[in-house]
Amino acid sequence: MEQQNFRVKFSLGTKLVLSLSLLFFAIVGFLSYSAVKLVVEDKQAYTFQLQSLEAYIAGQDFTEKVRPVRDNLRLYLTTFDPRLPINAVQAENLKNLARGQEEAAVFLSYLIPPSGDVSPLTKDVNPKAIADLGLDPEKLGFDSTFFKGLRERLLLSNAVFENYSRPGLPPLLLVAFGDVGLKDFDKGLPVALALIDSRTLIRNARFGQTTITSADGRVLASTDPERASRNPDASSDPIFQSAAAAKLSTGTKEFEIDGTSYLSAYRKLPIGPIVMTQIEKRKAMAAAFTLGERLTLLGLISIVAAILFAIVFSNSITKPLKRLTFATAQVARGEFNVDSKITTKDEVGALAHSFGIMSKKIQGLIVEQVQKAHMQEELKVAAAVQESLIPPPEYRDDDVEIIGSYQSASECGGDWWGFFRIKNKLCLMIADATGHGVPSALITASARSCFSVIAKMAQENPTYVLSPGEMMSYTNRVVFDAATTKIMMTFFIGVLDLETNVITYANAGHNPPWLFRKSGDKFQLKSLMPKGNRVGEVEESGVYPEMNAPMDVGDILLLYTDGLMENKNLGGEQYGKKRVKEVVESSLAGGPRAVIDALKIAYMNYNGTEKTLDDDVTLASIRILEKK
Answer for the pair 104, 192: CB distance below 8 angstroms, yes or no: no
Beta-bridged to residue 159, according to DSSP, are 177
Could you list the residue range(s) of the whole structural domain that residue 510 is in? 390-624
> Are 544 and 430 found together in one domain?
yes
Q: Is residue 384 situated within a structural domain?
A: no
DSSP classification of residue 541: -
Q: Is residue 375 situated within a structural domain?
A: no
Question: pTM (2 decimals)?
Answer: 0.44
Torsion angle of the four alpha carbons 369, 375, 381, 383, in this order, in degrees rounded to the nearest 10: -110
> Are 121 and 185 found together in one domain?
yes
> Are 218 and 89 found together in one domain?
yes
**234-256 per-position pLDDT tens digit:** 888 888 888 888 888 898 888 88
> Are 42 and 59 found together in one domain?
no
DSSP 230-244: H--B-TT-HHHHHHH
> Are 182 and 254 found together in one domain?
yes
Beta-bridged to residue 508, according to DSSP, are 491
Q: Is residue 377 situated within a structural domain?
A: no
3-class SS at 504? strand
Per-residue pLDDT, 3? 42
Beta pairing, strands 172-178 & 189-197: antiparallel
Average pLDDT, the chain: 82
**41-55 per-position pLDDT tens digit:** 787 788 888 888 888
> Are 299 and 265 found together in one domain?
no
Residue 77 vs residue 347, higher pLDDT:
77
Q: Is residue 432 situated within a structural domain?
A: yes
Per-residue pLDDT, 18? 63
> Chain centroid to CA 141: how far?
31
| H helix or E strand, kind and range, residue 50 | helix 12-78
Q: CA 389 → CA 422, 444, 448, 491, distances in Å? A: 19, 9, 7, 16
When divided into structural domains, the chain yields a total of: 3
The alpha helices in 174-274, defined as continuous H runs, are 227-230, 238-245
Q: Which residues of 114-143 are buried (b: 16+ CB within 10 A; e: fewer)?
A: eebebeebbebbbeebeeebebeeeebeee
Average pLDDT value for residue range 263-281:
87
C-alpha–C-alpha distance, residues 611 and 628, integer Å: 46
Average pLDDT value for residue range 59-88:
88
Residue 518 vs residue 530, higher pLDDT:
518
Q: Is residue 74 situated within a structural domain?
A: yes
Answer for the pair 448, 418: CB distance below 8 angstroms, yes or no: yes
> Are 291 and 360 found together in one domain?
yes
Residue 366 vs residue 282, higher pLDDT:
282
Per-residue pLDDT, 2? 44
> Are 351 and 399 found together in one domain?
no
Q: Is residue 378 situated within a structural domain?
A: no
Q: Is residue 107 situated within a structural domain?
A: yes
Per-residue pLDDT, 42? 80
Per-residue pLDDT, 517? 93
Average pLDDT value for residue range 597-619:
88
324 pLDDT band, cuts 50/70/90, is low
> Are 572 and 598 found together in one domain?
yes
Per-residue pLDDT, 357? 74
Closest residue by Cα to residue 544 from 557, 558, 530: 530
For residue 583, pLDDT beyond 90: yes
- Residue 572 neighbours by CB distance under 10 Å: 6
DSSP classification of residue 406: E
> Are 422 and 306 found together in one domain?
no
Q: What CATH number corresponds to the domain at position 571?
A: 3.60.40.10
> Are 42 and 57 found together in one domain?
no
13-22, 94-103, 201-210, 504-513, range with the lowest pLDDT: 13-22
Q: In what order do the strands lie in the sheet with 274-280?
A: 219-222, 209-213, 274-280, 260-268, 250-257
Q: Is residue 231 situated within a structural domain?
A: yes
Pick from 235, 258, 282: which residue ends a domain? 282
Average pLDDT value for residue range 465-494:
90
> Are 94 and 243 found together in one domain?
yes
